[in-house]
A = this chain, B = another copy of it.
Amino acid sequence: MNASGVQPSSRPGGRTARNRAAVRDATLAELAEHGYAGLTVEAVATRSGVHKTTVYRRWGGVDGLVVDALALADEDDWAPPDTGSLDGDLRELAREVVRTFAAAQTAFVAAAFQSERAAAALHAFYAERHRRAEEVVTRAVARGEVPAGTDAGAVVKAAVAPFFFRVVIAGELATTELADQSAAAVAHAARAGIYA
């Protein structure tokens, strides 16, 4: 059972898994081009090559497409950077967010404002990403860079928050310079024990 509440009906790697990946890719492409308001089951079916009735039956509708695309993203093998220092790890983490945050991601945030199911899926997606990213702080504690008891979640979220704030709330552009500045500031504060 995936997050969309749909039980895949055949084994992993089979046609169901291929359809699911094709529908996810089509959903992301449609979100990037037309936003959440312009997302339709018809367009996703056409673009993915999966029959419209199959899309309706398996995903239910637009909300189900968004929820399953986020659920699939959570099943990937993403791991945080491991550069050998908290400064370096947070910098790579922040740069990755700046580099990869695209129209489709903004559309997910838009979807979250219009659908409780999409909001829950978005929050679950970020919770899982943050949980994995906390490893950079665990390693920094082990290296003695930051005090034991440092709140790993607070450090990770503080490093990436300025990016989301500027793009989503203030309507500005995010830059590599902003990522580096944010990472350096948070690492400096973490070393001083402010997140402990």
Contacts and interface: CB of A to CB of B under 8 A. Distances in A.
What's the dominant secondary structure at chain A's contact region?
Answer: helix
A158 B185 contact: yes
A194 to B, nearest CB: 5
Nearest to A37: B114
A32 to B, nearest CB: 15
A43 interface: no
A160 interface: yes
Contacts of A157: 162, 165-166, 170
User: How many A residues are at the interface, by size bracket?
Assistant: 35 or more
Contacts of A166: 157, 161
Nearest to A123: B171
B161 A165 contact: yes
Interface of A: 36-37, 109-110, 112-114, 119-120, 122-123, 126-127, 130, 154, 157-158, 160-162, 164-166, 168-172, 178, 181-182, 184-186, 188-190, 192, 194-195
